[in-house]
Structure 1
């Protein structure tokens, strides 16, 4: 594996549909030498709202306790939609390793979102590995990141 881009724990959360994949990715992260900050949920038996767990990940990134977060729900859509409401979040819903590279290089994504119903565990591990080891292209896309952070809900 390439060098890690962070020494901080990776924040990890899922709704009830993503519990099994969260457990597998948490174990994978720890085996790869990453610290993990588990933000729930821990049971697939009780329905919970992915929105609430996306907000937990947002709080981890906002507080600076984590540089990267991983959110998992059934399709991944609600985690990504919720997280991207915040200007300092660059959440990306990924399905392939090939998508991970430009998401990090060009978008400096800081939150990976996966759909537990549509992404098998082995592919999720590969996507996560690429996500956590691909550096952003820095200055080349700094203006884009700054523009994103300044966007508001007003249409221009």
Structure 2
């Protein structure tokens, strides 16, 4: 892996369907020198709502405790939709390592979302590695991100 993009812990959370994949990714993060902030859930036995755990990750980013977060739920959809309600979060639901590159370079995504039901663990590790080793580009991409951040407050 190339240089780390952050020295802050990576916050990670899942719903009940993503517990096993979350644990594997937390292990990968620790093995690669990242601090890990586990925001739950810890059990697959009881159904929980992915929305609640996405909000925990959003809170970690907002508070500045983490620059990056990883959310895992069954399809990934609810985590991504919830997180993207907040203008300071740029959550990307990814399925391949190749998708990680433009998500980070062009969109400066700060939250990786994975679907535990549709992404095997080995692929998830590769996606995470690509995500965390790709820096955001400047120039026109930075301008585009600034425009994106303003959309929430604009009126159509």
TM-score scaled by structure 2? 0.97
Residue 55 (str. 1) matches residue 71 (str. 2): no
Q: CA deviation at 1:148?
A: 1.2
Output the CA distance in 2 between the equivalents of 1:94 and 1:155. 29
In structure 2, how many angstroms separate the alpha carbons of the residues matched to 1:82 and 1:110? Answer: 14
Query: How far does residue 155 in structure 1 lie from its aligned partner after superposition?
Result: 5.6
Once the two structures are superposed, the pairs formed by residues 3-152 of structure 1 within 5 Å of their partners are: 3-152=3-152
Provide the rounded CA distance (Å) in 1 between the counterparts of 2:38 and 2:80: 18
SS of residue matched to 2:152: coil
Q: Aligned to 2:143, what secondary structure does the other structure show?
A: helix
Question: How has the CA–CA distance of structure 1 residues 29 and 145 changed in structure 2, closer, same or farther, with 3 Å as cutoff?
Answer: same
* TM-score, scaled to structure 1: 0.97
**d(CA) in 2 for partners of 1:69, 1:132:** 10
Q: CA-to-partner distance for each residue in 1:40-91, whole Å, 9 max, x for gaps?
A: 0000000000000000000000011000000000000000000000001100
- For 2:72 and 2:101, how far apart are their aligned partners in 1? 19
4+ long deviations beyond 3 Å = none
Corresponding pairs, count: 156
Q: Please list every run of 5 or more consecutive structure 1 residues that lacks an aligned counterpart in the other structure.
A: none
In terms of mean alpha carbon deviation, does 36-45 or 143-152 score higher?
A: 143-152
